[in-house]
Chains A and B, each alone.
Chain A
Amino acid sequence: MSEGPVNSPEIRRLARVLEPGYNYASVTDKIASIVLTRPVSLGWLAGFSVSFTVLMVLLGSIAWLIVKGVGIWGINIPIGWGFAIVNFVWWIGIGHAGTLISAILFLLNQQWRTSINRFAEAMTLFAVACAAVFPGIHVGRPWMAFYMFPYPSTMGVWPQFRSPLIWDVFAVSTYGTVSALFWFVGLIPDLATLRDRATNKPAQIIYGMLAMGWRGSARHWHRYQSAYLLLAGLATPLVLSVHTVVSFDFAVGIVPGWHTTIFPPYFVAGAIYSGFAMVLTIAIPLRKAYGLQDFITMRHLENMAKVMLATGLIVAYGYFMEFFLALYSGNKFDMYLVDQRLHGPYSGYYFALILCNIITPQLLWFQKVRTNVAALFVMSLVINLGMWLERFVIVVISLTRDFVPGAWGRYQATFWDYSTFIGTMGLFVSLLFLFVRGLPAISIAEMRELVAHKSEGDE
């Protein structure tokens, strides 16, 4: 390919969501080969064993928790919720980007989503899995946690549907189910491809089972597309609702710093914010490791950077409104809390949060930064940290300074708080490693569509 002086390779790169020179077969080869033919690399083995070890740390921490009780954490009265809830909200938030990319961008017919939606959805599932760890174990009697499900008990008792925690149970489980369906439906044609290309029997059988006899007939595609469209349509309000419900856990409570109507929108924005950050955190190493730069192009990265900038500004607005409303309402408890965030014992966390979530992302205004892979990677990590701090500030600081000064206290995380948190990262990364080896990280069928469009374009 020859590039004239007018359009520099950079510009053309940016313009493209798929590098030229691909046909159906080559696309299929390139992506399917990662799963089917590529030998297990040392890098993969090393990475997986590390993450698996960390996963074991999680299991160990949970075992000890069951043995001793939640007292091994730093929580106390008045700070009844600590790391467990912070991590839960953080993970759930991260999940949002996946569904958003695959559903909303699909509805908006954004072609550039094609090459990132598959692993973004996978990320969603794994993030939800990590989040789902916490509601189960953070309760005092985990073996009784099933009381939260509405089942016909012999005692004739039922859950208490006014509690946001019950809403959580439904929201998170629905979200998990729908994301899984969405992801799987998207996978069916590719599973068929793998089935047909697999050379060894076990692979043929396994992928054959999963492909369920998909033949790519016109009737199949016909219903498949309407089902996929419907799922996208349903997942969109769902993804917005999930973090809204999560924010209700706080907004419905009367604790100063929790009880505010700004929470739902600003939680959702925050979720998307952290979600895209996490997608970048994964995409950048992934495209490098498997040479997918042609599919996950600079344009993808830049677009995601733009989304982060936008949502970041919404979040900033949220922080501002919290302050404004506290002062404007004249509510002495809220005003005191605002003051505590700035001058209280945890002000350090608050300023770190402002730095990570509001100040740093402003660099994304510059294209130089948006198109610098390294910078984006660092930025994504910073934003992930910032969003975790945000949840910490909301959950913990609010509880340390509530209504009765005589009962005020403080919170300090213990070793087990940290080990559990880091452990879930092990779970997350382990699942990702298995995913890239076992399933096509990019939707082959959709890439073929892209090829088709391109060829039309060229003619």
Chain B
Amino acid sequence: MSTEPRNTLYGVLGEFDSADALMAAARKIREAGYQCFDAFAPFPIPGLSEACGLHYGLKGWRHNFVPQLALLGGFGGGLTGFFFQYWVNVYAYPLNVAGRPLNSWPAFIPVTFELTVLGASTFAVFGMLALNLLPQPHHPLFTVPRFKRASNDGFFVCIEATDAKFNLAADAKFLESIGAKFVTEVRDED
């Protein structure tokens, strides 16, 4: 654990003045061959993710894994639900209740269903958070004051330093060239 303050370059941030501008920019950056970049908007913009090259596949860092997780959770919950009841009533604690058969499967359906839904939804939500690496209280971008507007009416793009063809000066120029009205470097400092 080094004690001297961190001060590493995170990337270069450019702000655009409309959703459409952001879309265009994202598309251009991608065509320019950048891999590690991200766009930021105060509300979900249809097509932006595609513009950034995100897809529903399982390969690469851009994957969206949420539906598969939900499916998993749903199956898990449902199966657990039913077979737990089956086990309790037939093996663990078999009782003659109202002369009903031990395996009164129709009576087990409601609980099975509820647990299916519970499993699926919890997996979906917590899966989403996990894949988004949330919670994440600190992020370099928060050091940029203007970035606050990302949650209000600002549209940003950030090319990250981890990108293979990252070059601070060049990329800043590039961003301006594609219509960023404001460009700044983002340092991971504290």
Closest 10 CB pairs of A and B: A212-B135, A24-B153, A213-B136, A227-B128, A222-B49, A196-B148, A167-B110, A448-B43, A221-B44, A170-B114
Chain A residues within an 8 Å CB radius of B100: 162
In the complex, A193 has a CB within 8 A of chain B: yes
Q: B residues within 8 A CB of A166? A: 111
| CB within 8 Å of B: which A176-218 residues | 177-178, 181-182, 184-185, 189, 192-193, 195-197, 208-209, 212-218
Scan residues 307-357 of chain A and give those whose CB is less than 8 A from a CB of chain B.
Answer: none
22 intermolecular pairs with C-beta atoms under 8 Å apart: A25-B152, A28-B153, A150-B84, A150-B88, A161-B104, A162-B97, A170-B115, A178-B117, A189-B151, A197-B151, A213-B134, A213-B136, A213-B139, A214-B134, A217-B38, A217-B39, A218-B40, A222-B49, A234-B70, A241-B110, A445-B43, A452-B43
B121 close to A23 (CB less than 8 A): no
Contact check, A234 vs B120: say whether CB atoms are below 8 A apart: yes
Interface residues of B, dominant DSSP: helix
Q: Interface residues of B toward A: which range?
A: 35 or more
Q: Name the distance in Å between A27's Cβ and chain B's nearest Cβ.
A: 9
A196, closest chain B residue (CB): B148
B residues adjacent to A (C-beta < 8 A): 19, 26, 38-45, 48-49, 51-52, 54, 62, 64-67, 70, 74, 84-85, 88-89, 92-93, 95, 97-98, 100, 104, 107-108, 110-111, 113-115, 117-118, 120-122, 124-125, 127-129, 131-132, 134-139, 141-142, 148-153
B92 touches A223 (CB 8 A): no
Assess whether A238 is in contact with B150, with CB atoms less than 8 Å apart. no
A218 touches B26 (CB 8 A): yes
Q: How far is the CA of A234 from the CA of B70 in the complex (A)?
A: 10
With contacts A160-B97, A181-B121 taken as known, whether A24 is within 8 angstroms of B152 at the C-beta atoms is: yes
- Say what secondary structure dominates the interface of chain A: helix
Minimal Cβ-Cβ distance residue in A for B48: A218
Query: Is residue A414 contacting chain B, with contact meaning CB distance below 8 A?
Result: no
Please give the distance in Å from A188's CB to the nearest CB on chain B: 8
Report if A216-B150 is in contact (Cβ < 8 Å); known contacts: A161-B85, A171-B114, A449-B44: yes
- Among candidates B114, B128, B135, B142, residue contacting A224 with C-beta atoms closer than 8 Å: B128
Inter-subunit contact B135/A161 (CB<8 Å): no
Flag A286-305 by CB within 8 Å of B: 1 or 0 each. Answer: 00000000000000000000
- Which residues of B have CB within 8 Å of A196? 148-152
| CA of A108 to CA of B176, assembled, Å | 41
Q: When chains A and B are docked, how far (Å) is the Cα of A449 from the Cα of B48?
A: 13
A354 to chain B, nearest CB (A): 31
A63 at the interface (CB under 8 A from B): no
B40 proximity list for chain A (CB < 8 A)? 215-218
Q: Is A212 a contact of B114 with CB atoms below 8 Å?
A: no
Closest to A227 in B: B128
In this assembly, does A226 line the interface, its C-beta being within 8 Å of a C-beta of chain B? Answer: yes
Residues 355-380 (chain A) with a chain B CB within 8 angstroms:
none
B39: chain A residues at CB < 8 Å are 217-218
Given known contacts A156-B92, A161-B89, A192-B151, what 11 new A-B pairs fall within 8 Å (CB)?
A: A28-B153, A162-B97, A167-B111, A178-B118, A185-B125, A212-B134, A212-B135, A212-B137, A218-B38, A227-B127, A248-B110
A174 to B113, CA, bound (A): 10
- Are A213 and B138 in contact, CB atoms less than 8 angstroms apart? yes
Chain B residues whose C-beta falls within 8 Å of the C-beta of A178 in the assembled complex: 117-118, 121
A38 to chain B, nearest CB (A): 18
